[in-house]
Amino acid sequence: MIDLNSYQKMFAEWQDINFPPHKCTIIHMALGACEESGEFAHWILKYDQGIRSVDLDKAKEEAADAFGDTIVFMMQALFILGVEPESALKKCFDEVLTRVWRTNPNGEGYSQHKE
């Protein structure tokens, strides 16, 4: 099992060694995560459309890489905010698992934008 909280700290140390602080802001982390999720979408879209001769193995490899990179950027954004990724994921998983879309298809009472 991966210990995300430990990896988050290792990534922060790695960042400190490899990048100047002004290049590791929360804005850079958020934009990096968006860019990587775009890469994820790119490979899935091209595979699904059957264009550019993308084979399934290549799409899987590239999508997995983009997924991992997205997670790293998001974990570092959380690090800047002082949030541990494991507690953030647990809270999210627990909330998602309470939703029952078959009996509540409009999502009444659920909101992505809480006050």
In-domain check, residue 42 = yes
Phi and psi at 78, nearest 5°, equal -65, -35
In-domain check, residue 69 = yes
pTM given for the model: 0.82
Residue 107 reports pLDDT greater than 80: no
Q: How many CB atoms lie under 10 A from the CB of residue 112?
A: 5
Number of domains in the chain: 1
3-class DSSP state of 19: coil
Range of the domain at 39: 4-96
In-domain check, residue 103 = no
pLDDT for 103 equals 86
In-domain check, residue 83 = yes
Question: Contact, 61 vs 54, CB < 8 A?
Answer: no
- How confident is the model over 45-102, as pLDDT tens digits? 888 888 876 778 888 888 899 999 999 999 999 999 999 999 999 999 998 898 888 8
pLDDT for 85 equals 96
In-domain check, residue 115 = no
In-domain check, residue 113 = no
In-domain check, residue 105 = no
Residue 41 reports pLDDT greater than 90: yes
Give the CATH number, domain containing residue 55: 1.10.287
